[in-house]
Structure 1
Amino acid sequence: MGVLDARGNALHRPVLRDLCVELLSPALSEKNSLCVDCTLGLGGHTEAILRSCPEATVVGIDRDPQAIELASRRLAPFGGRFIPVRATYDGIADICAQYAPEGKAQAVLMDLGVSSLQLDARERGFSYAHDAPLDMRMDPDLEVSAADIVNNASAGELTRILKVYGEEKFASRIAGEIVSRRARQPFTGTGELVEAVRRALPARAVRTGGNPAKRTFQAIRIAVNSELEVLQRALCSALDVLAVHGRMAVESYHSLEDRIVKNAFRRGLEDTTPAGLPVRLEEHSPYLRELVHGAFRAPETEIARNPRSASVRLRAVERIRRTPAHLHHTDTKFNGGHA
């Protein structure tokens, strides 16, 4: 089922929608079970869950007020089974405390990165394919936009942002070009930033690998929206509020996101019984179980139908036991993406 945005354009099918529903639905069969869609967007995943799991309620979180408005309109036929919440999803614990019995969720879904709504809204400046104001704010109420970072960050800070968040090997060259150009005239549009990247890169890098500004746009967008810090905090909280036999699925679209997800899950998948003991200690046994092996990649049939699924990595787990309070996920510091 398609949905129309405010401009009347048909938007894309959610990535791996059917697989996400298949993975989460066994945890949503009981009456009053709760699923938290941490990245609501236009509500495609949530709609599929509500249709397939008639006993479930879905809380949909998004920081983008336009997404909340459009998804609420789309999901109105489900009445009180859909609850929209405008927030960043690292507040999942407080949200579950408000809406979930005992503050626990039976299912959690995260579809990370920029949404179709944001990419397709040219005026919001997320896309390097069209000239638009240099904005990139998922929440329009944020004080700092992409233009603020590009025009005000030091060369060293720009280099760090491009290197850490974009894994851009020409980070220092691009930062230098940005600083040189803005000294003559501040950046206002995405086209100016694309041109600066092109001028900074060696000719061979411009000719290969798609749009040369892709990694720069990714890095600045992540910095504007604090995406990786929010993700780290949200994963810790989501694993803590996940009920026993609850399930969690996370879709990532670049290696930085996937590495954070992998590390968050790994702690619960491993037996941490100290070496040399003759028996495994129950309190150190795994409390998560993998639902897919490693990171699932979209098949060619899905990619042909939905090109945005080409880079997706899906990881999913089930909580199989409670954990003592001292083992709860409390490390919320983003470490730059390194394991």
Structure 2
Amino acid sequence: MPLSMQRWQLAKYGCENLQLAEVAVPVPGPEQVLVKVQAIALNYRDLLIIRDGMGMPLQLPLVPASDMSGEVIAVGPNVTSFAAGDKVINTFFSGWVDGVQPHASVMFGAPGPGMLSEYVVLDEDSLVLAPRSLNAVQASTLTCAGLTAWFALTENASTRPGDTVVVIGTGGVALFAVQIARAQGARVVVISGNDDKLERVKHLGAAYGINRKQTPDWAAAVRAITGGRGADHVVELAGGDNFGQSMAALTQGGRISVIGNLQGNELRTSVFPLLQARVTVQGIAVGPRRALEDLVRAVDWQELKPAVEKTYPFEQLPAALDHLERGSFGKLVVTGPGL
């Protein structure tokens, strides 16, 4: 076991201020686990944190990123769920096992500790066993993007075979939503402004793709596809004015899962479609440890394969963040040092 390790840290905000530092390897305490990080999946939130902390009063230096997969190296006293050699992924929130999220629970990667490090120490209840069917790069994408899509489609919704699920966009959460909804037996319609991505998403199980630039009233196109009935569920990742289209696309008693806000921090539409269609609108903010364990079992059973566009070596984090800014089809992943 080495005494020192590498980690990316931020002394002050801005991507140009990221530093690759050498620090001591942490030691696990009671009910804690030491993990050698093998892969770190990036989320757009990580870029926003690096830029300005997203308005949170964060303590610097800060280690970014919330999602990792790795191997257990050592465990502290009283750890019962893990042993050296286990492959694991972390939860997105600390201390949220199930039920209502505790007030003391925090997001990893800010304000909680980040994962862009050679080794991390986490509490036992912030880890789950990784899927047996995925490699480390693929497994790292489940923590946030995978669980967000899973929670939207399985926890507060009852997707049935033959339902129509509309997914907005082709980012990490969206592509997980396509695969999960398809595994549930739903007919999936993807809305995007890129024909190439719409074609690619069909290989993941989407039945239809609608170019929102060519068809601004895409809700009418969804209704045409469904014979006038409308969609049962819309996974809303844009917000803003797009929310009105999502509302118009729904069947009576349909559901919208609000996850993203690419068009700003408001949801803009008339209240009347909401009332007339008796729509349920639910906010989704990832989920607890128990739901992540459920997702892991489903991934192994259904043989779901996360869409990863590209991996970057640990020392090339700035290039990975630049790619994240430009957008990708699926996830971008940074591999751990020396891998």
What interval of TM-score do these two structures reach, taking the shorter chain for normalisation? 0.3 to 0.5
- TM-score w.r.t. the length of structure 1 is 0.36
- Using structure 2 for the length normalisation, give the TM-score: 0.36
